[in-house]
């Protein structure tokens, strides 16, 4: 059985033409799939025998929402989806005045091991298929009734650790016969896997690259992000400079402010020095308190921001949404896994 929604438009056309179908058939099927059809039986402009033939060869992914939490503070919605194999992933929908942004997961769990992050506590289970990434956008839009205008790949998982599937997802979600979301409305966030950044640069996509930096010096960064032992801060900055030269796109540096760890003025000065030479933007994130983590939110966010600005950098503080619903990624899945574990023990 083949995952039909993970096929590109061209692959679908080839597969259906190999089955003896006329070329308009692929257009019909693609449009049903990308419109959210959950089974071939919904495809009313296709004959019943043909639908049955398709169902013998292909399956259609369609997650079920096992939990949905709506923030009373700002309308942020967090979904916990159950996939075909019983695994769960999270998606967050945030509404801003300029549109609706969906934050999607790229893997079930994560193996990067960042010490402050809930998504990585239990490691990686598996990669998500392109269809499973697309489904998060598609079914969030359908369930919420809010049209998605922007996508951030900042949920559970490391996109560069599943880059083939991520690139295919980008092609699918960008397709004019599908959801048609422009690359300029998509951000991809990485913890700093240098070969992944280089490969992305080669693609020449118009998306925004976000780099989860969190510290400008290797000593601090290695303490909080094991990936720094493989690709240290200086190699990472070199890759960022290469990325900018190749694509001309401004990079966004994510910086979660941790009390007494990465929030000194000296670190702000060093950060500014390392970004020099490209138009970087620093996004300061108030640390989300994760139960499993020893780290606490910094109280120097505003001072750190001022210090960066004094060097001519643009630095913004990320507004925290969904504070009442555990909306930072990884937390809801952890909760569900723990409860399932406890239910399993009782049974």
Q: Which residues bind ligand SAH (CB under 6 A)?
A: 112, 114, 116-117, 154, 158, 189-191, 212, 254, 256, 285, 287-288, 290, 328
Catalytic amino acids? Answer: 90, 329
Name the residue with tokens 């967050």: 92
Q: How far is the CB of 316 from ligand SAH (least distance, A)?
A: 14
Query: Token pair of 345, please?
Result: 């023990």
Q: How far is the CB of 290 from ligand SAH (least distance, A)?
A: 5
Query: Token pair of 63, please?
Result: 């997650």
Extended beta strands in 128-274, E state: 148-153, 186-190, 208-212, 252-257
Q: How far is the CB of 296 from ligand SAH (least distance, A)?
A: 10
Given a contact cutoff of 8 angstroms between Cβ atoms, the answer to whether 197 and 209 are in contact is yes
CB nearer to ligand SAH: pick between 16 and 287: 287
**CB under 8 Å to 259, separation ≥6 — which residues?**
287, 295, 296, 297, 298, 299
CB nearer to ligand SAH: pick between 61 and 160: 160
**CB under 8 Å to 140, separation ≥6 — which residues?**
77, 79, 91, 93, 102, 148
Helices (H), 19-129: 24-33, 48-57
Given a contact cutoff of 8 angstroms between Cβ atoms, the answer to whether 50 and 63 are in contact is no
CB nearer to ligand SAH: pick between 140 and 189: 189
CB nearer to ligand SAH: pick between 140 and 328: 328
């Amino acid at each position: 059985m083949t995952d039909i929604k993970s096929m590109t438009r061209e692959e679908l056309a080839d597969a259906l033409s190999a089955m003896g179908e006329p070329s308009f058939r692929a257009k019909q099927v693609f449009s049903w799939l990308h419109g959210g059809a959950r089974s071939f039986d919904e495809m009313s402009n296709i004959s019943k025998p043909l639908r049955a033939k398709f169902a013998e060869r292909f399956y259609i992914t369609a997650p079920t929402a096992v939990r949905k939490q709506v923030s009373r503070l700002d309308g942020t919605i967090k979904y916990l989806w159950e996939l075909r194999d019983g695994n769960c992933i999270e998606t967050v929908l945030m509404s801003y005045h300029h549109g609706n942004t969906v934050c999607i997961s790229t893997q079930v769990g994560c193996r990067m091991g960042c010490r402050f992050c809930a998504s990585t506590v239990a490691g990686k289970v598996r990669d998500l298929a392109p269809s499973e990434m697309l489904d998060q956008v598609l079914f969030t839009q359908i369930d919420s009734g809010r049209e998605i205008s922007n996508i951030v790949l900042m949920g559970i998982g490391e996109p560069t650790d599943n880059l083939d599937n991520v690139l295919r997802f980008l092609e699918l979600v960008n397709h004019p016969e599908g959801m048609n979301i422009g690359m300029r409305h998509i951000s991809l966030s990485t913890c700093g896997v240098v070969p992944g950044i280089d490969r992305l640069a080669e693609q020449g996509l118009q998306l925004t690259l976000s780099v989860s930096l969190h510290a400008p010096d290797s000593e601090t960064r290695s303490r909080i992000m094991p990936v720094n032992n493989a690709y240290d801060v200086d190699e990472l900055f070199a890759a960022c400079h290469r990325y900018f030269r190749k694509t001309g796109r401004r990079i966004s540096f994510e910086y979660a402010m941790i009390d007494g760890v990465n929030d000194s003025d000296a670190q702000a000065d060093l950060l500014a020095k390392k970004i020099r030479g490209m138009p970087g933007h620093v996004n300061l994130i108030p640390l989300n308190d994760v139960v499993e983590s020893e780290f606490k939110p910094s109280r120097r966010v505003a001072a750190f921001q001022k210090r960066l600005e004094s060097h001519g950098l643009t630095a913004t503080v990320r507004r925290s949404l969904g504070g009442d619903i555990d909306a930072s990624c990884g937390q809801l899945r952890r909760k569900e896994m723990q409860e399932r574990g406890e239910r399993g023990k009782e049974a």
